[in-house]
Amino acid sequence: MEEMEEELKCPVCGSFYREPIILPCSHNLCQACARNILVQTPEAESPQSRRASGSAASDYDYLDLDKMSLYSEADSGYGSYGGFASAPTTPCQKSPNGVRVFPPAAPLPPPPPSALAPPPPPRSACLTCPQCHRSLGLDERGLRGFPRNRLLEAVIDRYQQGRAAALRCQLCEKAPKEAAVMCEQCDVFYCEPCRLRCHPPRGPLAKHRLVPPAQGRVSRRLSPRKISTCTDHELENHSMYCVQCKSPVCYQCLEEGKHSSHEVKALGAMWKLHKSQLSQALNGLSDRAKEAKEFLVQLRNMVQQIQENSVEFEACLVAQCDALIDALNRRKAQLLSRVNKEHEHKLKVVRDQISHCTVKLRQTTGLMEYCLEVIKENDPSGFLQISDALIRRVHLTEDQWGKGTLTPRMTTDFDLNLDNAPLLQSIHQLDFVQMKVAWFSFDPSSAHADIIFSNDNLTVTCNSYDDRVVLGKTGFSKGLHYWELSIDRYDNHPDPAFGVARIDVLKDAMLGKDDKAWAITEGGITKGATVGVLLDLTRRTLTFSINEDQQGPVAFENLEGLFFPAVSLNRNVQVTLHTGLPVPEFYASRSAMQ
């Protein structure tokens, strides 16, 4: 249940939601927090008026203008529209959970009186969602136009009641002490020092009723829940579900409101249907979570295996070195250092992946537990208010556990073979033998759907004019590897790209457009040319050649992790892969000199 707590906290104040409202973007806010970040904008600049005038394509265009006027490219926070473009920028504040919010802009000083001064423009209210940064306009009802999320309130109540029996003070700044009393009017638990400091028995507070913490929790549990009512007709309960608007409505909405011409269905039937859809979506996500748990066990076992292999390899290395003469002893320390670095590198990569997967699993588990608690509710109206958003989130989270996420980025084996055959006079050249000639082809399973394969998956082209990415079947995390790609067809537009990439690189953009690929995209590439790619993970470098001519000394340095051969091309390009090749002479001679 602890993983679900993140789902129950407001993104602005960082505390459990209090009187949460549902925004049109399906996110939630405390009503008080929404009121705090609410700002007044000129009527002509509100999202509704911009859409009506056709000056903006969407709310997100309006948001982009907000961002440019409020913070620079170096700022990673978000902001709400703070007034006219000429108004000074309002300093931002940071909520407890790291979300930056901008307080309402200070009112402008009144202009000097003038008989010819035009009347002030009408103003409307708007706020920016702190999670998706969408700019939302309010109608004449203000925040009352957003429905109350009573189902979320019920889940929060049940979660808080299920926590530890010892109730804690809500006002202690660091380690909360055990609560001594609860004020029924303030609805706050106090320890004795905080009660004396914040709730003295005098003045207006003298009339407040203080009760023991256990009695206070019972009274909270027994407080009646309000029935969800229509936001347009506050005295009416929801009775039907509007299919077009995807929201519960009352009978007056159907007779006289904006839903009168919309398709509607029975509230109970839609409630059951959406519960069934959410349950089915959770089944798939549950399988992903189970796989993630097993994957974490595998990664933790890899840590142990790496440590055991490291100990075994060091012992073997020491035994070989001790059998050699004094010259070999001077080399022994260097070789042990290489092994230790490899050991540390493997552990770092696996532990980083464990940490990343643990965080993602905790978020997934929290979402699952929250959804299960939502399914337990018997409030059809409240459920249907959030079910669509939850179903989308569940599917999106399941997609994030796609192929490659649950694949180790590191192997447990130490592929280091000490060659002790050379003569003693050659001892200064002693080094690990790491070179392995790799034979591989392109991988259809991880490639973009527009890639066309032939020649036993060694030749590829594309049926789209846009750039598409294809990876090799084999990934490399160590050693020296070289392969070539011959250009079979190329009309000089646009440029293909060749290099290496992570398994989760973008497949629908040119190689190198994100931070998960390293590639060459220009420099003498023509039809009939041969591009060579040399990946040296011992020195952590990537080098390119065209027709056996090296393209600069080193293209990329400090490469770490698991890399796959990669190509991006469109329908105007066809390339063929050649593997199992020796290291080119220009690199072999340079290595010998070093």
By the 8 A CB rule, do 441 and 472 touch? yes
Q: What are phi and psi of 495, to 5 degrees?
A: -75, 135
**pLDDT value, residue 491:** 81
By the 8 A CB rule, do 530 and 547 touch? yes
Nearest to 284 by CA among 368, 359, 388: 368
**pLDDT value, residue 421:** 58
**pLDDT value, residue 106:** 47
Cis peptide before 96 (omega within 30 of 0): no
Assigned token pair, 290: 């189970």
By the 8 A CB rule, do 353 and 361 touch? no
Nearest to 157 by CA among 19, 363, 295: 19
**Tens digit of each residue's pLDDT, the chain (594 residues):** 567 788 888 988 888 888 888 888 888 989 888 888 876 555 544 445 554 444 444 443 433 433 333 333 333 333 333 333 333 334 445 455 445 454 444 444 555 554 444 555 455 677 888 888 888 877 777 787 788 887 888 888 777 776 644 678 888 888 888 888 999 888 889 999 999 988 988 888 888 988 888 776 555 554 455 566 777 777 777 778 888 888 888 877 877 767 778 888 888 888 888 888 888 888 888 888 888 888 888 888 888 888 888 888 788 777 866 776 666 667 778 888 888 888 998 899 999 989 989 998 999 999 999 999 889 888 888 888 888 988 999 999 888 887 777 888 888 888 777 766 555 556 555 566 554 567 899 999 889 999 999 999 999 999 998 999 999 998 888 888 999 999 999 887 777 899 999 998 999 999 988 889 999 876 667 888 899 999 988 888 999 988 888 887 788 888 988 999 999 999 889 999 999 888 887 776 565 455
- Can you tell me the distance from the alpha carbon of 501 to that of 515, in angstroms, rounded to the nearest whole number? 9
Local structure of 487: helix, strand or coil: strand
Give kind and range of the element (H or E) at residue 470: strand 468-471
Long-range contacts formed by 82-91: CB under 8 A, 24+ apart: 82/39, 83/39, 83/40, 83/41, 83/108, 84/42, 84/108
